[in-house]
Structure 1
Amino acid sequence: MSTVTLESTITCSNCGYKTTEIMLTDSCQFFWECPKCGEVLKPKKGDCCVFCSYGDSPCPPIQKNKSCC
């Protein structure tokens, strides 16, 4: 069984700010507000959460090849 990564570095699509966040293991995060510019990110079409769209690691359910949300 492979290890699930619980941290993801998310990048703001508006200003490029990057920060490492801890991902939830039991739910998706639909919104993320950039602490630098205030932009509120939402998942891109076809993605379940902001980490799958803007993070360097997808959310834990996707890492486990399970349906998310």
Structure 2
Amino acid sequence: MEIQLKSEITCPNCGHKKVEEMPTESCQFFYECDNCKQILKPKEGDCCVFCSYGTVACPPIQENKRCNNSSCC
């Protein structure tokens, strides 16, 4: 399976959507919505904002690996 590097992230506050490229070496814990400027953090149990609010899980999860974010997993 080919790893997807782009995910459409949806802000739970205002519904704004944007396609973003995901980092491959670590998980992204914070994300600022371009529209409402709310800072998103992962939902409990998720390793990053892409796993919580994106259309595609982060690359480490896609590869069935643990993420590199020391505050999760």
TM, length-normalised to structure 1: 0.97
1:44 aligns with 2:70: no
Which runs of at least 4 in structure 1 moved beyond 3 Å after TM superposition? none
Distance 2:20 2:34 in 1: 12
Q: Does 1:10 align with 2:30?
A: no
Q: Which residue of 2 aligns with 1:54?
A: 53
Aligned length: 68
Q: Cα deviation per residue 1:33-56 (whole Å; 9 max; x = unaligned)?
A: 001001100000000000000000
**1:9 counterpart letter in structure 2:** E
Percent of aligned positions with the same letter in both sequences? 62
- Counterpart CA distance in 1 for 2:38 and 2:15 is 11
* Structure 1 unaligned spans of 5+: none
Could you say what secondary structure the match of 1:53 adopts? helix
Other structure's SS at 1:8 match: strand
Deviations 1:12-66 (CA, angstroms, capped at 9, x unpaired) = 0000000000000001100000010011000000000000000000000000000
Alignment RMSD (CA, Å): 0.4
The aligned residue for residue 30 of structure 1 is 29
